[in-house]
Structure 1
Amino acid sequence: MGRLVPAVTRAFDILELFLQGDGTLSAPEITRRLGLPRTTTHELVSTLTARNYLVPVPEQPGRYRLGVRTYQLGSRYAEQLDLAAEGRRIAHEIAETCGETVHVALLEDADVIYVAKVDSTHAVRMVSAAGRRLPAHCTAVGKMLLAMLPADELDELLDGRELVGMTPRSITDPDALRTALAEIAVLGVAVEQRESNPDVSCVAAPVRDRTGRVVAALSISVPVVRWDEARENELTALAVRGAGDLSARLGHHGPVR
């Protein structure tokens, strides 16, 4: 890597300060937080303002916020993101950590579509595959995504719909499903125990985009012979971490739950 340019580094340091707090800062606050000379701060802030990376806050004299140029760059970055490609990268990282099968899926109507899958290092056959659809109510990723829907959208999706089971443990009663989804919404994670495959349990966490909207879910699937309370807790934390990493790749800041 070549030599870093100090002035450019300091300019980025200033911009990144605006990701904290209420998103507004004064020049003295920037000087204090970064330990810069006052003249350096003034020159950098003036330059960033002239290029529309910062703008004065009209109702708060002497304070600045991020300008339209940062929004334009962020929007262009978001346009270039590919959920499937980013999902595969994160799924590989999580699968390498735990040795189990990792999925990334999104919701379409009442089904989930798997957009990424990385297989376990163990010889276990899974019912899923990238591109395959499964009933959302039978899977951890699907229940996670259903639980994050606004109440009116969930009602529209479930009213009058027959919930077909994939195993004897699948939830096929609408009231029971609504109860389970309400619990998942509070917990921020979903668990499926042999509901889509009689030999597999899963845990899933939500993936959010830069607006905070849930756009996908990431799950870790485990054969029941390797599933117990300790393993569930371990993989739940790992699924949340993976979903958080993928959310960050999509521009989200903050926790995913």
Structure 2
Amino acid sequence: MQNEPQYRITSVDHALHLALLLQQEGPLRVSDAAARLAVSVSTAHRLLGMLVYRGFAHQRADRRYEAGDVLRPAAATPAPVALLRQVAPPYMQRLVDRVQESVNLCVRAGTETRFLATAECTQVLRVGSRAARTLPAHLTSGGRILLAALSVDELTALYDGDDRVDLPRLGRNLALVRERGFAINDQNTEAGLTAIAVEVPGSDGQPVAALAFAMPSVRFSRDRLPEWVSALRVTATEITNALA
């Protein structure tokens, strides 16, 4: 049996308790959460808002909250996650300083894209941090560039029986990604958000991660694609060298 900590942090305890309730008992209204935690409705609302921000909860169309992506079981990734988190941020920040768009570092875990780190730009209208979130790999730019490295047989095995994915269409899309050497997510995961990704190769030349610009769609311009892709590739090479 676990003993209660001597110095209990009530707000952390409430947030963890609420995350467990969402995972184990299903969707909750704000009033339900307040009653279960014995806190005010406003406090429950703030706690749920923070869980949504960090990917532990998701608000449904009926206004109830359910467990988010972070609470779903996820496949392991072969990428050197700890090393990537250690070496990549300085290079990501320098890239942000040059281009003034937010930059994400992500890896693929099965059919999911896992965001490891974000360097945010300082523009008023910007894409915020996605760190610790997971999204379907076939929808994100980083996921697509990493899926493009798989063989046809590997891709088929990965998505066999997955009703979310039109496999022939995905295969055609990934063939175009391989030809171009970069991937674009044009509002597939979130309205008003466009992302561009390239791979971060490992020492053996195989991709271990993806590096992506994420920007408001109103600032996306195909005329600037060569500039953005070139900047991403330079930084990806710097991260590859640092990994070695």
TM-score computed with the length of structure 1 as normaliser: 0.60
- Aligned 1:186-225 pairs, distance under 5 A: 186-225=179-218
CA distance in 2, matches of 1:242, 1:196: 24
| Identity between Structure 1 and Structure 2 (%) | 27
Alpha-carbon shift at residue 125 of structure 1 (Å) = 5.7
Root-mean-square deviation (Å): 1.8
Alpha-carbon contact 2:110-2:158 (below 8 Å) kept: yes
1:153 matched to which residue of 2? Answer: 154
Corresponding residue SS for 1:123: coil
Corresponding residue SS for 1:138: coil
CA displacement, residues 222-241 of structure 1 (integer Å, 9 cap, x when unaligned): 21111112222221111111
CA displacement, residues 135-161 of structure 1 (integer Å, 9 cap, x when unaligned): 111110010011112332211111211
1:114 matched to which residue of 2? Answer: 115
Unaligned runs of 5+ in 2: 1-79
CA distance in 1, matches of 2:155, 2:129: 24
2:168 matched to which residue of 1? Answer: 175
Alpha-carbon contact 1:144-1:190 (below 8 Å) kept: yes
Alpha-carbon contact 1:86-1:246 (below 8 Å) kept: yes
Identify which of 198, 219, 225 aligns with 1:232. Answer: 225
Deviates more, 1:117-126 or 1:199-208: 117-126
Tell me whether 1:94 sits opposite 2:95 in the alignment: yes
Alpha-carbon shift at residue 128 of structure 1 (Å) = 5.3
CA displacement, residues 205-255 of structure 1 (integer Å, 9 cap, x when unaligned): 11111111211000011211111122222211111111121112122xxxx
Unaligned runs of 5+ in 1: 1-78, 164-171, 252-257
TM-score computed with the length of structure 2 as normaliser: 0.63
